[in-house]
Amino acid sequence: MSSGSERRAALAALFFGGLTLLLAGVLAQVFSEVAPKGVANRINHNSEGYLLALLVGAWIQFVRDRLRGARWEWPVVGAVAVTCAAIALALLASDLPSRFRTLNEALLAAAAVIPYVQLRRPLPRKLAGGLAGAFLFVTVAANRTAIVTELAETLAALILAPVAFDIVDRGILEPDAPTSRRLRYGWYAVLVAVPIAFSVLEYGLHLSGAAGEVTRFGVRLAEMFICVLVIEIYFSVGLGRVGRERTPD
């Protein structure tokens, strides 16, 4: 095995093994026993992000390219999406503890994001932006309805995925796509800054009224920002899937 292959294997073990351990620790309530309460709460609240990063990351690295062009490509994709959705609905209807039931949002997101990443590239940036904008509009317009409240993390993933994979980090799914290092790292900064800002506004300033509603909703979306960030960092920085650096006109 070459040094490059060994490095990729080590990164994959670290990425997928780390996410698996985090998710298992949350479900087994390990962190609540061994970590300070504040730290444990922050780790536990991101379980949906860990699961979605595992599913989407594993699909991109190990499944997507192997299925492309095969006769069974879309039957397999459809079966996986239906399975994710069915498990999500089963969790939602179950009497399991909330740490298990809450994973339904990550599974519903996977049921949509996995078929999305399987689509043949390139996809027009305007289409990706339109999809993200449409889901953002629905989220804002119906933010007080039960379905948006219950599916906050799912909707966040559907907003962020088109931006991440088809506007910013296009090289992850399309090796020859033109990309911009400045845009990528600026986007990563946004993915870090937005959850921090919502956390400060919610827990530091304790806003009330309409602003308070926005910040409380925004805090719930933090795990999907983390999910998208770790996927992009892993593939672009770790594995070097950065596409082709765009040259100035």
Residue 174: pLDDT above 80? yes
Please identify which residue in the block is written with the tokens 């990063």. Answer: 53
Give per-residue pLDDT as tens, 206-242: 666 656 566 767 777 889 999 999 999 999 999 999 9
Give per-residue pLDDT as tens, 105-159: 999 999 999 999 999 999 999 999 999 999 989 888 887 788 888 888 999 999 9
Which one-letter DSSP state was computed for residue 178? E
Determine the Cα angle at 157 with ends 152 and 160, to 5°: 120
Q: For residues 132 and 129, give the distance between their C-alpha atoms in angstroms, rounded to a whole number.
A: 5
Q: For residues 86 and 109, give the distance between their C-alpha atoms in angstroms, rounded to a whole number.
A: 12
Which among 113, 110, 107 has a CA at the least distance from the CA of 91? 107
Into how many domains does the chain fold?
A: 1
Helices (H) and strands (E) in the chain, counts: 14, 2
**pTM flag (> 0.85):** yes
| Tally of CB atoms within 10 A around 21 | 12
Residue 93: pLDDT above 90? yes
Give per-residue pLDDT as tens, 20-37: 999 999 999 999 888 888
> Taking residues 70-80, what's their average pLDDT?
97
Give per-residue pLDDT as tens, 8-17: 999 999 999 9
Q: Which residues, listed in sequence order, are joined to residue 179 by a DSSP beta bridge?
A: 245
What range does the domain containing 201 cover? 3-245
3-state secondary structure of 245: strand
> Taking residues 193-211, what's their average pLDDT?
74
| E strand or H helix that includes residue 133 | helix 125-141
Q: For residues 50 and 29, give the distance between their C-alpha atoms in angstroms, rounded to a whole number.
A: 15
The residue type of 130 is G
Residue 122 backbone class (left: φ over 0; alpha: ψ -120 to 50; beta: rest):
beta
Give the burial string for 73-105 (b: 16+ CB within 10 Å, else e). Answer: eeeebeebbeebbebbeebbeeeeeeeebbbbb
Residues of the chain above pLDDT 70, percent: 92
Which pLDDT score is estimated for 249? 43
How far, CA to CA in Å, does 119 sit from each of 115, 166, 212, 244? Answer: 7, 11, 38, 20
3-state secondary structure of 248: coil
